[in-house]
Structure 1
Amino acid sequence: MSSAVSRPSAANSDLAIQHFSALLTFETDCWDVHHACSNNRQDFILMDVRAESLYQAGHLPSSINLPHHRLSVATLQAYPNDTLFVVYCAGPHCNGADKAALKLAQLGRPVKKMIGGVTGWLDEGFSLEVG
């Protein structure tokens, strides 16, 4: 007897390695971002891509706010072209981070999405800054 979990069967190891390795080139998680930021290892710009009012109400420490619809060559001028941006939005129910990641990639900028967004950050027990 098999379950919906085991049907279809899992990918072979080579295919799984390829898939999960590729996935990690596109995404990071709240825990890794928090660890980097709190241990002086932040080698990326953490970008909150939500509306300014939402950012002011509560955002991740050390993040900047640049709503995804305002991303452009002009708004990114202050950052060297090889700057890694880690984008986040409200959480799994929001696709603002995906829109921002796509726009950054279209502009030729390195980008990763922080999965979970603000919801994931809070779920991990981390705090937000206000203002």
Structure 2
Amino acid sequence: MKLAITYAILAFIATVANIGVQDLFIRGYSGAFDVLFSMAAGTGIGLVVKYILDKRYIFQFRADNAIHDGQTFTLYALTGLATTVVFWGFELSFHHVFETKEMRYFGGMIGLAIGYVTKYHLDKRYVFRTGGA
């Protein structure tokens, strides 16, 4: 139960980082493909934040060296591709249906929540196999 609560808190932090960067991006750029660019920026920040938090607090992972950490991050990012499709699908669907940034962000939060639950299982099985979780 403690692990689930910790994971939920860390997922919340990564979600705030993701949606926050999206909102900052949109405030600074409102041209062509602004929503997609903001989502890409938020996804990038969210990925890095979530990786750092997960490897330390969820999986207690310590890389042997920088190359090992880079390889682990690459695998972490690759396992996130499918969950990113879910996240982006929800966010873009809400954007299309409701046509407000608030509902787009809400859709994004739903997609991230679903994605993070799935991502935990992928990470436990494929990325941090030798970790503590």
- TM-score tier (shorter): under 0.3
1 or 2, which has the higher strand percentage?
1
The higher radius of gyration belongs to 1
Taking structure 1 as the reference length, the TM-score comes to 0.24
1 or 2, which has the higher helix percentage?
2
The answer to which structure, 1 or 2, has the higher relative contact order (CA under 8 A, 6+ apart) is 1
Taking structure 2 as the reference length, the TM-score comes to 0.24
